[in-house]
Amino acid sequence: MASTESGIPVEPVYGPGDLTEWDPEVQLGAPGDFPYTRGIYPNMYTGRPWTMRQYAGFGTATESNARYRQLIEGGGTGLSVAFDLPTQMGHDSDAPLAHGEVGKVGVAVDSLDDMRTLFDGIPLDRVSTSMTINAPAALLLLLYQLVAEEQGIAGAQLTGTIQNDVLKEYIARGTYIFPPGPSLRLTADTFRYCRAEIPRWNTISISGYHMAEAGASPAQEVAFTLADGIAYVRTALAAGMAVDEFAPRLSFFFVARTTLLEEVAKFRAARRIWARVMREEFGARDPKSMMLRFHTQTAGVQLTAQQPELNLVRVAVQALAAVLGGTQSLHTNSFDEAIALPTEKSARLALRTQQVLAHETDVTHTVDPFAGSYAVERMTDELEAAAMDLMRRVEEQGGAVAAIEAGFQKAEIERNAYRIARETDSGERVVVGVNRFALEREEPYEPLRVDPAIEERQCAALARLRAERDGAAVTAALGALKEAAAGAANVLYPMKEALRARATVGEVCGALREVWGTYEPTGSTW
């Protein structure tokens, strides 16, 4: 018998008998009504389509700015910024650890100067910007706010999202800086700062995407992501915030795989679980606190370097799964991403994929078209049960942070990744163009390459910045930041002043490292 990616058996035929204990009023409700199985808004895409938010960033701020302008001119309705590894890890481009990585997997942002260039000519009050950054998320948000202020735009006019989900870094991705305790302190400070200064900003995008890329099943992706969400809610409550003050600005980030039916069921189950957790465990009363709003990215891990044009088909199916599952915004990967950074043409094709779905199909004409499907409703119930079981196991270990420190989530994901790898190697799991229907000789493809001189130029720019700025002002601002970090004050206010004085990302993160230390991971337990 076939089974889903989560290992749930798939019946050849589903019918009413598979839903004998199923109460549609309890499980479904109407679109826009608790428990939001059918979507968080009554009209979903019948009023307007999802936000088409293309993820881009490479090389220097100047090059990325040009790509952003192309995406906006091509019809994109939101920007999503990719940062290079040194920026993600809180290092400047001239740091020894940054050598060879500057501008490779995203844009290098070392200071206010780079952020200013990155958004040159882009009116920040008319574009929604998502920034995929975690450990130093607060820094990049403050740099963005400073650029907006230079444009004469108040914080209340800014809209967008910072990923700011450091817990999943300990589980699956590894771009952490500080230990979990200080990291959660910084998250709570960001929640409070944004409530006061940037009230329309989504302060966190709790991410299952990177867990899925590391090998998590759909059930694991939902369970561990929502468990992290619970940890963030508890952190904010412990910091003295009321649930309905911050919960409406929480958002999530999931993957969309090619297994369309299970993915649709996954999104529906995740909404239902989160709504019930927020109402029943945390006593939320504002409906927006119970709504699981999420961004989706198509599954990069499922793209292949072999016959890369096949990825156009994969991405279209994955995007369709996200739309049918009720996503609020979507990034479609470019077909050549398994080879290198996307070219301008491939990035445009990725955006056009979304536009075809929105304007040439009928999926935007009705809300939740799979509602009442015997197969999808059964899968939704089974995914909910599987995810809830995993969430209970996390709770039994003391919650998400304690489970992370014990290596539980990481071990479970690694075990599933190993199963997938074995099934692929054996041919049981078919990957078209790789273990079946392969070509004897691949056609040549010329990828986009990042100029290695970028690192040299970034280092020269940093040298000029340090020579030009007021060094005493930077030293004093960093001292104030360390004092706040050692106490209980919100660190974002002195952090903003340090960045305004043109302290670099590496210097600000270095000041916090002095006070908070760095995280040393534990080994896998499986």
Q: Which of the pair, 19 or 214, is modelled with greater confidence?
A: 214
Decide if 452 is inside a domain: no
pLDDT value for 311: 98
* CATH number for the domain that contains residue 318: 3.20.20.240
Q: Which domain holds residue 38?
A: 16-55+74-81+113-426
State mean pLDDT over 217-231. 98
Decide if 200 is inside a domain: yes
pTM here?
0.92
Q: Residue 78: which pLDDT band, with cuts at 50, 70 and 90? A: confident
Return mean pLDDT, the chain. 94
State mean pLDDT over 295-312. 96
Q: What is the pLDDT of residues 171-193, one digit of tens each?
A: 998 999 999 999 999 999 999 99
CA distances from 80 to 62, 75, 248, 313, 330 (A): 16, 14, 21, 23, 10
Among 317-331, 445-459, 468-482, the range scoring the smallest mean pLDDT is: 445-459
Q: Residue 341: pLDDT above 90?
A: no
pLDDT value for 90: 98
Tokens for 60?
A: 């220097």
CB atoms near residue 453 (< 10 Å):
11
Decide if 434 is inside a domain: no
Report percent pLDDT > 90 for the chain. Answer: 84
pLDDT value for 105: 86
Decide if 171 is inside a domain: yes
Q: Distance between CA 57 and CA 34 in Å, rounded?
A: 38
| CA count, 13 A, side-chain hemisphere, 180 | 19
State mean pLDDT over 115-135. 94
Reduced 3-state DSSP string for 150-199? HCCCCHHHCCEEECCCCHHHHHHHCCCCCCHHHHHHHHHHHHHHHHHHCC
Q: Residue 525: pLDDT above 60?
A: no
Q: Residue 451: pLDDT above 90?
A: no
Decide if 488 is inside a domain: no
Decide if 185 is inside a domain: yes
Count of domains for the chain: 1
Q: Residue 511: pLDDT above 80?
A: yes
Cα-based angle 441, 444, 450 (whole degrees, multiple of 5): 140
Q: Distance between CA 526 and CA 231 in Å, rounded?
A: 24
pLDDT value for 146: 98
53: left (phi over 0), alpha (psi -120 to 50) or beta: beta
Q: Distance between CA 171 and CA 467 in Å, rounded?
A: 40
Decide if 198 is inside a domain: yes
Decide if 358 is inside a domain: yes
Q: Which of the pair, 476 or 74, is modelled with greater confidence?
A: 476
Q: Which of the pair, 77 or 127, is modelled with greater confidence?
A: 127
pLDDT value for 523: 56
Q: Residue 17: pLDDT above 70?
A: yes
CA distances from 468 to 202, 262, 393, 474 (A): 35, 56, 55, 12
Q: Residue 58: pLDDT above 90?
A: no
Q: Distance between CA 168 and CA 208 in Å, rounded?
A: 8
CB 143 within 8 A of CB 115: yes
Q: What is the pLDDT of residues 129-186, one digit of tens each?
A: 999 999 999 999 999 999 999 999 999 999 999 999 999 999 998 999 999 999 999 9
Q: Strand order of the sheet with strand 204-207? A: 201-202, 160-162, 128-132, 78-82, 51-56, 329-331, 294-298, 250-256, 204-207
State mean pLDDT over 360-385. 96
Tokens for 242?
A: 């009321």
State mean pLDDT over 13-41. 85
Residue recorded with tokens 């790789």: 434
CB 412 within 8 A of CB 301: no
